[in-house]
Chain A
Amino acid sequence: MKKSHYELIILGSGPAGLTAGLYAARARTDHLLIEKGAAGGQVLLTDWVDNYPGFPDGLSGFELAEKMESHARRFGLTTRTAEVVSMDLLQSPKVLTLEDGEQLTCDALIICSGARPQRLDIPGEIELTGKGVSYCATCDAPFYRDMHVAVVGGGNTAIQEAAHLTKFASRVTVIHRRDALRATKIVQEKAFANKKIDFIWNSHVTAIEGGKGVERLQLKDNNGKETTLAVDGIFILIGVIPNNEMLPLQVLKAEDGGFIPTDNETRTAIPGVMAAGDIRRKEVRQIVNAAGEGATAVLAAEQYLNSLGAVTR
């Protein structure tokens, strides 16, 4: 019979999930990591990672994801590709239901389901997604060789990816709703020094227009003045929303748009359920703290399993 119960299930295979997997495998915990697709999470959307300690020359997001995965596999990480559609965390053991109806149970659960890029929710956005509207500069930049593209946002992701886009596009216009960027200083300095990048401040995009592809944006500044900007593409990099569709948000006391609050040890409101990485309610969403939380979560899970007497080591 197929195994259906695990002491620990880890949901998600981004940096938090893979680090949790590494720690669980090394602790010889009876575990399963459930991944929706290939490992890496949002790291796979990142062109270049220059702030992960231990890699002084930086490395691509792709490479970092692969390294994290092979690192955990070296110690015996067990994974399964599946999509969890719902869960009952109030039962003992906890029950996870997969998309084909199969159910898995666990004593402890670490939720690392992460987040995904937020949409602007403006006219034309959905219709033109894939036809000039993009949420991943790393993926789609090569389609804009010698073209003019807009980047919406002012954080690290937006400004870093604007710089990446200049490797292909002839002009990159950053549109930001404030008069200053939120991105880390060194990222800002590079962008301001890049002659291919220009800025439209205190403005937001109200509509994306075009036929077969994106042709122009309707902009409105903070004084209400409206203008049109002709572009071949628009990259929307304005932050993230949580991947929480499969989670019982009420019992987890989700807040701030559906993120999961925890204590310092990543414990949620439900005993035996931890949350790590971008799904956690927190201020800072970096690869390095996601990884740290993954490790913390396994230690919290071990404590919980020990308290149950479920661990016989």
Chain B
Amino acid sequence: MASDKVQAIDDAAFTATISSEIPCLVDFWAPWCGPCKAIGPVIEDLAEEYKGKVTILKMNVDDNPVTPGKYGIRAIPTLILFKSGEVVDQITGAVGKKQLVDLISKAL
């Protein structure tokens, strides 16, 4: 989501960042996507609540074609949870906060 509260990540930094042992939730979004905008406030809340425990990042799929291609992303918003470089689970669509909290809990 286009917010400054959630740190943006690009193709170049991606692999190194998700290889961390600290779980990492990446929000794949684009500026033309309404539902991406819709879940923006929820992602911001989560970034605040999980500070230090889970790294929450956003990737603009327009500017970064490599990573979305690698993970077969064909719909946005898609949120993928990583731990030590591996995909733990993922979710697509403008889901509610509870579903995202449940997703994150799989890596904690």
Contacts and interface: CB of A to CB of B under 8 A. Distances in A.
Interface stretch (A139-147, A185-193, A220-228): A139-147
Contacts of B77: 139
Interface residues of B, number: 28
A40 B97 contact: no
Given A130-B74, A140-B76, A142-B30, A81 B45 contact: yes
Nearest to B74: A143
A45 interface: yes
A44 B45 CA distance: 21
Interface residues of A, number: 31
Contacts of A37: 37-42, 94
Given A81-B45, A129-B92, A130-B92, A61 B34 contact: yes
Interface of A: 36-38, 40, 43-46, 61-62, 65, 81, 83, 99, 129-136, 138-140, 142-144, 212-213, 233
A145 to B, nearest CB: 11
A139 B98 contact: no
Contacts, number: 87
A139 B36 contact: yes
Q: 7 closest Cβ contacts across the A-B interface?
A: A44-B34, A130-B92, A37-B38, A130-B75, A139-B33, A140-B75, A38-B38
A142 B28 CA distance: 14
B2 to A, nearest CB: 11
Interface string B43-87: 001000000000000000010000000001111111000000000
B6 to A, nearest CB: 14
Given A38-B38, A139-B35, 15 more contacts: A37-B37, A37-B40, A38-B41, A40-B37, A45-B35, A46-B34, A62-B32, A81-B45, A129-B92, A131-B75, A132-B74, A139-B36, A139-B77, A142-B30, A143-B75
